[in-house]
Amino acid sequence: MFYFCSYYAMTRFDIEDMASAILAAPGWARVGITAPARHIRDDAAQELARSVAEALMDGQQGPEKDEQPELGL
């Protein structure tokens, strides 16, 4: 199957969800990305990315099989 202009397995995120995920990330990571020391910036960026990805992926989970209603044909 051909998907035009996008990778079929690519997940799309809402900007508001992403902003909320950034604000929910640990404070040290949000502040740490502006630190003068490179190793602190790198650690903070990794933690911020991990936290945002985790929050967004948790929000993208589909309904469990038991939660999805059956459709009559």
* Residue at 2 is within a domain: no
**C-alpha–C-alpha distance, residues 67 and 73, integer Å:** 19
Dig out the tokens for 16 from the structure: 């508001």
Per-residue pLDDT at 24 exceeds 60: yes
In a domain, 45, yes or no: yes
Dist CA 30 CA 18 (whole Å)? 14
Structural domain contains residue 9: no
Residue 51 belongs to some domain of the structure: yes
Domain count within the chain? 1
Q: In terms of residue numbers, what domain contains 54?
A: 15-59
**Amino acid (one-letter) located at 67:** E
Whether the per-residue pLDDT at 18 is higher than 80: the answer is yes
Query: Is the pTM of the predicted complex or chain greater than 0.75?
Result: no
Q: pLDDT at position 7, please? A: 54
In a domain, 6, yes or no: no
pLDDT at 38: 97
Does residue 7 lie in a domain region?
Answer: no
Lowest-confidence segment of 17-21, 26-30, 67-71 by average pLDDT: 67-71
pLDDT digits (tens, 9 = 90+) for 30-71: 999 999 999 999 999 999 999 998 988 876 655 555 566 666
Q: Does a structural domain hold residue 4?
A: no
Q: Nearest to residue 35, comparing CAs of 47, 23, 53, 50?
A: 47
The token pair at 24 is 């929910």
